[in-house]
């Protein structure tokens, strides 16, 4: 296991590492701006395997399985701009305030992360500067540009959740996650609940808060944008067929929402 504890504050990402930000449809015309904080599970080469076996690095503690396929397909369907992050949430969680303990987790579910133990402050800052900051700066800049150009912008943050957490099975197929926006979440909930085959979580399995989230408070609420998180259960999007099916369904529902928002003069 090769770990760099960060005494050298050069770059965390070397030539062999890809940039953290992945984008689809940078010129997309949809009002929906899609984000995906837990899109990928890459680890910068300098951090080795964080002291974990592959079986841990491929499961939900490392990323949101299935959401990458849904996010890419949904962006294409809607002609929406997607900004996503390719590195594992075990390196740094892009949906946690950097000062939260869970930003660079010492333990996730019941797994201890050896590569995150005793991390020097400089090493934590290096992860932030190399991965967290470029991702959030990009979202910030995209929103700036859209607002400057008068482009309607509705933030949708895409996630997936594990069907069983700490031994408890979760009944929902999909959940909406929100906090302060009172416009988009009720519309989304209503249309999801019209789907006869779905069990829909209302702020389940998680709710958004300033302490446990970053993307919605920072880019949705602080910018005054309509916003919601969407969480899809991972067993439903484990393969390409499931990912396509859910992207189709969400494209249809978000399309209806766009029509409603336009008719109400909200976008």
Residue 54 CA neighbour count, 13 Å, CB half: 0
Indicate the residue among 128 and 159 with the shorter CB distance to Zn ion. 159
Backbone angles phi, psi at 45, to 5 degrees: -55, -35
CB of 37 to Zn ion, least distance (A): 6
22 sits near Zn ion (criterion: CB under 5 A):
no
SS3 35: strand
CB of 159 to Zn ion, least distance (A): 3
CB of 207 to Zn ion, least distance (A): 14
109: alpha, beta or left? (left if phi > 0; alpha if psi -120 to 50) = left
CB of 92 to Zn ion, least distance (A): 13
Indicate the residue among 38 and 249 with the shorter CB distance to Zn ion. 38
Indicate the residue among 6 and 214 with the shorter CB distance to Zn ion. 214
93 sits near Zn ion (criterion: CB under 5 A):
no
Backbone angles phi, psi at 168, to 5 degrees: -105, 125
Angle among Cα 213, 216, 222 to the nearest 5 degrees reads 115
3-state DSSP percent of the chain in helix, strand and coil, to 5: 35, 20, 45
Q: Which stretch binds Zn ion (CB under 5 A): 126-134, 151-159, 193-201, 209-217?
A: 151-159
Interface with Zn ion in residues 32-61 (CB under 5 A): 38
Indicate the residue among 38 and 46 with the shorter CB distance to Zn ion. 38
Q: How many residues bind Zn ion (CB under 5 A)?
A: 3
Interface with Zn ion in residues 152-181 (CB under 5 A): 159
Give the helix ranges, DSSP H, for 65-209.
67-78, 121-127, 133-148, 184-193
Position with the least CB separation from Zn ion: 159
Structural contact between residues 14 and 45, judged by C-beta atoms closer than 8 angstroms: yes
Nearest by Cα to 156 from 231, 89, 86, 97 = 231
86 sits near Zn ion (criterion: CB under 5 A):
no
CB of 176 to Zn ion, least distance (A): 14
Indicate the residue among 107 and 120 with the shorter CB distance to Zn ion. 107
Per CB under 5 A, residues contacting Zn ion are: 38, 64, 159
């Amino acid at each position: 296991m090769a770990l760099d504890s960060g005494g050298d504050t050069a770059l965390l990402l070397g030539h062999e590492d890809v940039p953290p930000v992945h984008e689809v449809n940078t010129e997309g015309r949809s009002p929906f701006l899609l984000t995906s904080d837990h899109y990928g599970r890459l680890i910068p080469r300098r951090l080795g395997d964080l002291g974990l076996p592959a079986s841990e690095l491929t499961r939900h503690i490392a990323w949101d399985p299935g959401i990458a396929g849904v996010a890419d397909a949904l962006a294409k369907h809607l002609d929406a701009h997607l900004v996503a992050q390719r590195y594992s949430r075990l390196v740094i969680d892009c949906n946690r305030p950097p000062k939260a303990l869970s930003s660079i987790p010492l333990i996730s579910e019941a797994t201890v992360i050896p590569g995150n133990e005793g991390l020097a402050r400089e090493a934590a800052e290096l992860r932030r500067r190399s991965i967290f900051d470029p991702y959030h700066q990009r979202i910030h800049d995209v929103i700036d540009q859209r607002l400057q150009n008068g482009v309607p912008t509705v933030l949708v943050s895409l996630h997936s959740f594990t069907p069983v957490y700490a031994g408890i099975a979760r009944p929902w197929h999909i959940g909406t996650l929100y906090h302060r926006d009172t416009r988009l979440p009720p519309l989304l909930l209503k249309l999801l609940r019209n789907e006869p085959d779905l069990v829909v979580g209302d702020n389940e399995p998680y709710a958004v808060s300033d302490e446990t989230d970053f993307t919605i408070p920072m880019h949705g609420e602080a910018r005054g944008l309509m916003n919601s998180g969407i969480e899809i259960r991972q067993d439903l999007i484990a393969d390409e067929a499931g990912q396509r099916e859910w992207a189709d369904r969400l494209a249809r529902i978000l399309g209806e929402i766009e029509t409603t928002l336009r008719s109400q003069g909200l976008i």
